[in-house]
Amino acid sequence: MIMIIINRSKKEAKKILKSHAPINSLSIKSSILECIGDTPLVRLNRLFTDPDIEVLAKLECMNPGGSMKDRPARYIIEQGLKNGTIQSNSHIVESTSGNLGIALAMMGRLYGLAVTCVVDPKVSAVNLKIMKQMGANIEMVTEADEQGGYLLTRIAHVQYLLGSIPNSVWINQYANSNNWKSHFEGTGTEIADALDDLDVLIAGVSTSGSIMGIARRLREKFPALHVVGVDAVGSIIFGGPPGSRDLPGIGASRIPELLNKSEIDSVYHINDLDSANGCRALLRYEGIFAGGSSGSVVAAAQQVVAKMRKPIGRPLRVVIILPDRGERYMDKVYDDDWYAMVEAKWLAVEGEVVHE
């Protein structure tokens, strides 16, 4: 291992080098599949400075496909191959805003399966390029549904493809129980094994697979856990009024079959501007370059910790889930022109509310 060490004594340098494992001590993986999961938990003590609050981020952006969607993609494909619902000649079809499409395309490469991703104009340009490079076929819908989103239009096109592509199989992440099970056995178990106490879980909601699976596993160990769902302004999942959304990742224009609302204690709706500010704050204070839904979770966490009652004798401990990487949002969250457009939009909306 080569490291550049500046302004340190030889003794300090030797100590640092000794603390790093030599390369031959690292386990060799048989494929990229074995790199999925075991993502780190990181304290965000620069962003959340109150000593009575400890916020831990689960960095799902460090999965090899760049997002937490690697987990259900692998689990669903492998379970399907085991139980026969997916065959060696199956053609996988799914509606996706990007991350699951990338993960499924990666699985397709490894298992020799054809993959078609149905996307819409809100998809990140980077995600679209990655899916294509991974070998996925792309079907783009352009007509918004009656809720102002594209999900219903995408699903309708999936149904069309199922009737026209031989041996096609729909993953159906919004209703597939293996979605939440992948997080129960994976993400949730990793968090539970790492911690002795936990008060609050904060996670974004779209298919609801991740928050359902993680919360169910964590409540086995922490029965009093307060679960916070983070939804997008404009999403109808929790009964909010439908509206347009610029950022993909969380929210939906339909209620997912996997969702059990009784398992979520409180819900925060975050607009695109607050999501972008959350992303930029995470990068500025913690050096974590995360995607749009991560910013939504950070923005919600800033509100949650201000309201929660602190336990006696220890800090309030909160886990937040950061789903994906930031480079996929260079044309959105981290683009100053896009940010200025979204800022003007939401400041105008707030001004209208004030005047009313």
Asked whether the beta carbons of 249 and 291 are under 8 A apart, the reply is yes
pLDDT in tens, 92-149: 999 987 899 999 999 999 999 999 999 988 888 888 999 999 999 999 999 887 777 7
What beta strand segments (E) does the chain contain?
Answer: 41-43, 53-59, 91-95, 114-119, 137-140, 168-170, 200-204, 226-232, 266-270, 316-322
Please say if the pLDDT value at position 8 is more than 90: no
Task: Give the residue-averaged pLDDT of 187-195.
Answer: 98
Q: What is the pLDDT of residue 248?
A: 79
CATH 3.30.70.270 fits 70-170, yes or no: no
Q: How far apart are CA 215 and CA 222, in angstroms?
A: 9
- For tokens 């997008």, the residue is 232
pTM for the structure as a whole: 0.88
Helix (H) or strand (E) holding 178: helix 177-183
- The dihedrals phi and psi of 199, each to the nearest 5 degrees, come to -105, -40
Q: What is the pLDDT of residue 11?
A: 52
Residue 48 has what DSSP assignment?
S
Query: What is the residue extent of each domain of the chain?
Result: 32-63+186-347, 70-170
pLDDT in tens, 37-96: 999 999 999 999 999 999 999 999 999 999 999 999 999 999 999 999 999 999 999 998
Q: How far apart are CA 85 and CA 43, in angstroms?
A: 41
Burial of 210 (0-12, 13-18, 19+ CB in 10 A): buried
| Residue 251: strand, helix, or coil | coil
Asked whether the beta carbons of 186 and 73 are under 8 A apart, the reply is no
Please say if the pLDDT value at position 20 is more than 70: no
Residue 206 CA, distance from chain mean position: 9
Q: How far apart are CA 197 and CA 23, in angstroms?
A: 34
Q: What is the pLDDT of residue 13?
A: 36
Q: What is the pLDDT of residue 249?
A: 78
How distant, in Å, are the alpha carbons of 267, 270, 282, 293 from that of 346?
A: 20, 11, 21, 17
pLDDT in tens, 198-256: 999 999 999 999 999 999 999 999 999 999 999 999 899 998 888 877 887 788 888 99
Q: What is the pLDDT of residue 245?
A: 79
pLDDT in tens, 291-345: 999 999 999 999 999 999 889 999 999 999 999 999 989 989 999 999 999 999 8
Residue 98 has what DSSP assignment?
S
Please say if the pLDDT value at position 349 is more than 90: no
Domain 70-170 in the same topology as domain 32-63+186-347? yes
Active-site positions read 69
Please say if the pLDDT value at position 355 is more than 60: no
Contacts of 325 (CB under 8 A, 6+ apart): 61, 66, 67, 289, 290, 291
Q: What is the pLDDT of residue 47?
A: 97
Helical H runs in 112-148?
125-133
pLDDT in tens, 240-296: 888 877 887 788 888 999 999 999 999 999 999 999 999 999 999 999 999 999 999
Please say if the pLDDT value at position 1 is more than 70: no
Four-residue CA torsion sign, 66, 67, 69, 71: positive
Q: How far apart are CA 337 and CA 356, in angstroms?
A: 29
Q: What is the pLDDT of residue 244?
A: 77
Token digits of residue 314: 């220890």
Helix (H) or strand (E) holding 284: helix 272-286
Which of the listed CATH numbers 1.10.287.610, 3.40.605.10, 3.30.360.10, 3.40.50.1100 matches domain 32-63+186-347? 3.40.50.1100
Please say if the pLDDT value at position 169 is more than 90: yes
